[in-house]
Each structure stands twice: as C-alpha cells, then as structure tokens.
Structure 1
Amino acid sequence: MPVSELCHREVITMQKDESALEAARLMRKHHVGDVIIIAEEKGIRKPIGIVTDRDLVVEIMATELDPAVITAGDIMKPELATIKENTDVFEVIRYMRRKAVRRVPVINDDEQLVGIVTLDDLLQLLSQELSSLVKLVEREISKEIQQRP
C-alpha cells in the first residue's frame, strides 16, 4: 500500500519566521503534536522543517526562553526527513526507524507537501491488519470444527 493512502492530507503548517508561541497555539487548536514549516517556491509549498511539541518543551520551556520571541525557524529540525507519496508503507516504517523519527511529511515528485504520516497512523494500520489475521485463524478453526466434528 502506498503511503498516500494512509497519510493525513490536512497538515498544519507555518512559516519559519512565525513564533514558537504560534506553533504551540496551532498544535493546541488542531490537536496535533507537530507543525510543518514550509517555504513557498513558485506556488509550491515545500516542507523545510518540523517543530514538535517536544521541541517546544525541551528548547523553549526547559530553558525558560520567551516563545513569543523565538521563531519556528530557530527550533525546527534542520534536516527534515520526507517520504515520497508512492512509497510503500513498510518502506516508510523502515525509513522512519533508520531516521529515528515519529513523523514524516509526505511529498510528491515536485517536493510539494501532500500529507503527513505518523507513528500512530502506522501502529493503527498494523493493529487492524493483525486483528484481521486473528479473525482469519478463528474462522479457519471454526470451519474445521464444522467440517470435522
């Protein structure tokens, strides 16, 4: 299954010159744990960084900095891991493990942001698939009992 079938298409974004306080407000308003930092080039929204709830705690709150003064660009992860929309879900899992990230923006061939996939999304998908396999085993046992009483 390509990641484009699983990813969330509504991604919360902001510019790198906006405040860390605004990032926190967006996360709270939309009930998410991250904001993707984008740069617009020729009408294309390209992801250039990410700010997570953990970044806000570790970089701003724990160091007692003013979130209204610090920008998203100041605390964003500089080397953003992204994945192409046609990438297989299991390759996404391997990629996230290799990069040690819990969230990955999904891009198209033009590097335009089209969605985001998170560890939570992948865990939910895998648990549903495992549940289906368990039901298969139960059905197989039931069928055998009926055929061979």
Structure 2
Amino acid sequence: MSIGQFCIRDTVIVNKDDTIVEAAKVMREHHVGSVVVVEEAEGGCKPLGILTDRDLVVEILAEEVAPEAVTVGDIMSFELVTVREQDGFWETLQRMRVNGVRRIPVVDERGLLAGIISADDYLEILSAELGELAKLLVREKGKEEQRRGA
C-alpha cells in the first residue's frame, strides 16, 4: 500500500511571501489547522515548509508581534520532512513518528506537491479498518452459530 493511495490530494497551500494574516484567512476559509508553504515550479508547486495555527499562536500572538509585519516565510517550519507517493503506508507513519511531525507533504517523482497526510488521516483510516475487522469477528461468530447451533 503506497501513501499515494491515502493522501489528501486537495492540499491547502500558501506562498512564502504571503502575510500571516492572509495565511490565517486561508486556514479559516478551508477549516484547516495547517497549510503547506510552496513556491511555483514548472508543472506544479514545490513544498518549502508548513505553517500551523500553533505557529501563529506561539510565534506571533504570544510574542505580541505585529501580524502585518510578518510573512509566512518568516515563521514556517524550515526542516520540511516529505515522503514520496510510492512510499509505503507504514513507512510513512514511521517517518512521521521518528521526525515528530503530525502532518507530512507527499511529493511526486519530481519533488512537486502531490498531497498531504496527517495523523488525523491515519486515525480515520485505521479506525475504519478496525471497524471492518470487528465486523469480521461478528460474522465469524454468526457463521459458527449457524453451523453448530446456538
């Protein structure tokens, strides 16, 4: 199972030169807590970093910095961890854990943004799979009762 099968393709993006106020408005409009910071590249967008709502609170509000004086590029994460579309589902989860990141951009073979996967997405995927496993146990019990009697 490649991560490309599971990632969210409709990724919310901003430019590093956007103001943090513009980025906050994008987050609000799309009901997300993070955006991928990109630069235009031939054939798509190249991910440069991630900006989270926590970054806005910790770096700007808590420090009482004037929001209009700060760009996304000033406070985005600079050590961006990415995975390739063909990387494995479990390999990606391991990479997130090792790097201590809750979300990770997915890139294509050219390094262009293809999507994003988050810890929340993993929880949703895994809970659905566990639900299917639980249904299997119920069906197995039902089949046994039919075969052997209640």
TM category (shorter chain) comes to over 0.9
**Distance in structure 1 (CA, Å) of the matches to 2:94 and 2:84:** 14
C-alpha deviations, 1:8-52, integer Å up to 9, x for none? 111111111111111111000010111111122334411011100
Partner of 1:74: 74
Q: Which amino acid aligns with 2:95?
A: Y
**Distance in structure 2 (CA, Å) of the matches to 1:68 and 1:114:** 30
Partner of 1:5: 5
RMSD of aligned C-alpha atoms?
Answer: 1.0
C-alpha deviations, 1:98-143, integer Å up to 9, x for none? 1111111110010000111111111000001111111111111111
Structure 1 consecutive aligned stretches of length 4 or more whose deviation exceeds 4 Å: none
Partner of 2:102: 102
Q: Structure 1: give runs of 5+ residues left out of the alignment.
A: none
Partner of 2:139: 139
Q: Secondary structure of the equivalent of 1:56?
A: helix
C-alpha deviations, 1:25-82, integer Å up to 9, x for none? 1000010111111122334411011100110111011111111111101100001011
**Distance in structure 1 (CA, Å) of the matches to 2:139 and 2:41:** 54
The number of aligned residues is: 149
Q: Which amino acid aligns with 1:82?
A: T
* TM-score between the two structures when normalised by the length of structure 2: 0.95
* TM-score between the two structures when normalised by the length of structure 1: 0.96
